[in-house]
Structure 1
Amino acid sequence: MALEKHINILDYTLQSLLRRKFKNIGIIMVFTLVIFTVSSIIFLSYSLRQEAHLLLKDSPEIVVQKMRAGRHELISTWLANDIMEISGVSGVEPRYWGYYYDSGVKANYTILGIGASGLENNKVVSGRMPSPHEKGVAAIGRGIADARVIKKDLGSTLYLQSADNKWMNFNIVGVFESASEIMTADLIVTSEDDFKTLVNMPEGTATDLAVHVSNEAEIPTVARKIKEQFPDSRPILRDEIIRTYDAVFGWRSGLIIALFMGALIAFIILAWDKATGLSAEEKQEIGILKAIGWETSDVLEMKFWEGLVISLTSFMCGIILAYIHIFFMGASLLAPALKGWSVIYPEFRLAPFIAFYQIAILMSLTVVPYIASTIIPSWKASITDPDIVMRG
């Protein structure tokens, strides 16, 4: 009997919502827009941060760059021997990498000499990796294959213009996949010799030096010693890069939320309007229900179901739309603001990283207050004499 009573109250609640369908649809649309906006920002910023952590987890503890007039320039490979003598350093490796702008498709590529570290977690979908001194071959990321309309079949040719204005052709011997598509979408891996020819790099130089430290507690000390011994160098710690990514994406997320304050204000006004009182029609409805024998608890249950249906419908619609927008549509509305200038790289899809605690917090800040704003004024009306309520 008790279950049947609750089912009847729920049925009446749904009928009541349908009677005011245009008003409720308007509320759901505004509510959904707010949830969609905030959850899209949360999904995108969290996924980008997770991609950055995934990308950097196997990177060297310290990267040493040479600076001149505040700008990064090529570093001498002879410094590797001196750095190797510093206590705590377990290995030093010169890295050969740089950027290549393809004017044909208006995108930047990252070109990496095969001697560089950081490729051990990448898998070749088909084919193989170039060997360190093999000429005229390359492995490419999916984004480049799509941007240059290159078939992913082995044997295709990629043409690049070198720094001395000569064309170099690379036979595609492998296509990448990776746990993080950010790492390989725009990546071209060639032999060390081909990289030096492409960018016209002088012998005895490298882009930077990767320094490996076995004891993490010694990383700041090693970095300080490198800076003291080579004043024109800049040691960059892996933890500093991770913190920078977190700070940048967190700041940009806050900026976008500020730009969408209009939608947030609309939701606040909506909740305030619900909390400050009921319409004459709603008061009359509660008065009639009380007059025909409904208890105060029954009225509150009806309003609870009403608030729950509207808020959960809006919340689920907003979350689902945000998920589709970020992970299936490439975050087309928010990517330029959060990714910054990196949108000129070949397009990549984010891996669907979701922090469920953030969704729970978002629900507690939207669904719960809305339900409360629905119940409180109804409770005030339900404890008032039905005759007074119906008179207004």
Structure 2
Amino acid sequence: MRPWIEKQRYLIDYTLAALARRKARNLGLLAVYALLVFMLASVSLFGQALRQEAAAVLADSPEVILQRLVAGRHDLIPPGYLEKIGRIRGVQHQQGRLWGYYYDPVSKANYTLLVPAAEAPAPGHLRLGATLARERGLQAGQPLSLRSYGGKLFTFTVDEVLPASSELISADLVLLGEADFRAFFDYPAGHYTDIALSVANPQEVRNVAAKLSAALPDARPILREEMRRTYASLLDWREGIALALLAAALLAFAILAWEKASGLSADERREIGILKAIGWETGDVLRMKLWEGLLISFSAFLLGLVGAYVHVFHFGARLFEPVLKGWAVLYPRFTLVPQLDGLQLFTLFFFTVVPYTAAVLVPIWRAAIIDPDAAMRG
């Protein structure tokens, strides 16, 4: 075992010396290669981190949300629905929710107005998300005027700006009392936007949803698992858009790998011929060039991955943020929790390191099997 290790060490030493002789070419190749890995890894790491954030946000969401449909559109929940749901076996708790969207012409953004389930603000008061407050330049104690869709002007006092730690889910959020909400949107008494349900047995969520659909044909139950899959699909779609934008870089990398596989330069062929003439075997030449491909590709992979990690988790993925976060006016500020998935890293490694390393061996094998004298004469 020790002689084999010593032989590999000598091969690596020679490979490093050979790379140093073509320093400018190899450094340029390394820079382009690392930049490609950096872009691909940034998209992959950012998408995975957003999936984890979405899963954490939805972990505390209701198990079932019940909406009423009229002509295929979301409509208000009329009085009597809560009583009907309470008679369905398996439903542990049900609560009508009040929420809606409001377009603010001042900031040219949509706000989400919501009546919290507990600790609602007093009449004439509200609480704001940090992003919204920053956009409007508001602080606790200051007034906020909103004109309803009916044309009436409402003035509220800001009780509190929600903590920045919750900015991911409260960026555009406005919390207000039930009376203010109904007056602002002219909501009829006893009506709700939708109903949040909890199920006694988590294993029976789908059965309860089926019972709800049978008892209330005009209702649409939305499961928490379905919301998770929807967010995951949305992020996959946005990640696909970002990768499509990188198609030119992927094409350039494919051309680079093909160029490596198509042939060697005259200097490289002459070098192989000299090595064969002084006693190197074909296997030694292949191992030396394999080490060369591994050193370049692995170094580029590490540089690109470390750069992507810093870019995503320390600088917020500024290059790909608008594509993967979505298109909006109010962008929340939040720090992503570092997430490294083993399968994700292996996939990235396989599709960036393996093709280049394999492409190196093809022309080397062709040159190594010819006569040394012919190789040295070109």
Give the TM-score category using the shorter length.
0.7 to 0.9
Structure 1 residue aligned with 2:114? 112
- Matched with 1:346 is 331
Partner of 1:65: 67
Task: Note if contact 1:96-1:115 (Cα within 8 Å) is conserved in structure 2.
Answer: no
Question: C-alpha deviations, 1:4-23, integer Å up to 9, x for none?
Answer: 77555444433432433343
Amino acid paired to 1:79: Y
CA change 1:157–1:200 in 2 (3 A) is farther
Check conservation: 2:126, 2:156, Cα contact below 8 A.
no
CA contact (8 A) 2:128 2:158 kept: no
Map 1:148-163 → 2, pairs under 5 A: 148-150=136-138, 155-157=140-142, 159-163=144-148
Change (3 A) 1:26 1:339: same
Q: Please state if 1:145 is matched with 2:147.
A: no
Amino acid corresponding to residue 160 of structure 2 in structure 1? V
Matched residue, 1:382: 368
AA partner of residue 42 (structure 1)? S
Q: Does 1:272 align with 2:258?
A: yes
Separation (CA, whole Å) in 2 of partners of 1:106 and 1:319: 38
1:372 to 354, 358, 378: 358
Instruction: Output aligned runs, 1:161-310, within 5 Å.
Output: 161-163=146-148, 164-178=151-165, 181-296=167-282, 298-310=284-296
Alignment of 1:51-130 (within 5 A): 51-115=53-117
Match of 2:342 among 356, 374, 377: 356
**Cα deviation digits, residues 332-372 of structure 1 (max 9, x gap):** 4434444444x233333352333232011110221122122
Deviation by residue 1:48-81 (Cα, 9 ceiling, x = unmatched)? 3222221212211111112222222222253112
- 53 and 261 in structure 1: CA distance in 2 versus 1, 3 angstrom threshold: same
1:134 maps onto 2:129 in alignment: no
Contact kept in structure 2, 1:138 and 1:174, CA below 8 Å: no
Runs of 5+ unmatched residues, structure 1 = 117-130
User: Could you report, residue by residue, the CA deviation over 1:230-252 in whole angstroms, capped at 9, with x for unpaired residues?
Assistant: 23222112122222222232233
Contiguous gaps of at least 5 residues in structure 2: none
Shift of 1:133: 5.5
Return the offset for 1:264. 1.4
Equivalent pair of 1:287/1:386 in contact (CA under 8 Å)? yes
User: How much does 1:85 deviate?
Assistant: 0.9
Distance 1:191 1:324, change over 3 A: farther
Amino acid aligned to 2:134: D
Contact 1:159 1:170 in 2 (8 A): yes
Q: 1:308 to 1:165 in 2, by over 3 A?
A: farther
Identity %: 43
Q: Provide closer, same or farther for how the CA distance between residues 296 and 346 of structure 1 changes in structure 2, counting only shifts above 3 A.
A: same
Per-residue deviation, residues 105-159 of structure 1 (Å, max 9, x unmatched): 333332321217xxxxxxxxxxxxxx236234444333223323345xxx34251
The whole-number CA distance in structure 1 between the counterparts of 2:39 and 2:297 is 15
Is the 8 Å Cα contact of residues 290 and 357 (structure 2) preserved in structure 1?
A: yes
Larger mean CA deviation between 205-214 and 40-49 belongs to 40-49
Q: 2:299 aligns with which of 290, 313, 326?
A: 313
* Cα deviation, residue 208, structure 1: 0.8
Shift of 1:88: 0.7
Check the 8 A contact 1:140/1:176 in 2, yes or no. Answer: no
Q: 1:328 to 1:76 in 2, by over 3 A?
A: farther
Distance 1:31-1:156 versus aligned 2 partners, 3 A rule: farther
Q: Secondary structure, in 3 states, of the residue corresponding to 1:76?
A: coil
TM-score normalized with structure 1 length: 0.83
What is the rounded CA distance, in whole Å, between the counterparts of 2:20 and 2:124 in structure 1?
69
SS in 1 for 2:162: strand
Q: Say which SS state the counterpart of residue 123 (structure 2) adopts.
A: coil
Q: CA offsets per residue over residues 210-243 of structure 1, 9 Å max, x none?
A: 0111223322232223223323222112122222
Give 1:313 deviation, angstroms: 2.8
Q: Which moved more, 1:353-362 or 1:131-140?
A: 131-140
Residues matched between the structures, number: 373
Instruction: Determine helix, strand or coil for the equivalent of 2:137.
Output: coil
Partner of 2:16: 14
- Give 1:348's aligned amino acid: R
**160 and 23 in structure 1: CA distance in 2 versus 1, 3 angstrom threshold:** farther
Report whether the alignment pairs 1:322 with 2:324.
no
How far apart, CA to CA, are the structure 1 residues paired with 2:117 and 2:332? Answer: 26
Give the 3 Å change call, closer, same or farther, for CA 76–328 of structure 1 in structure 2: farther
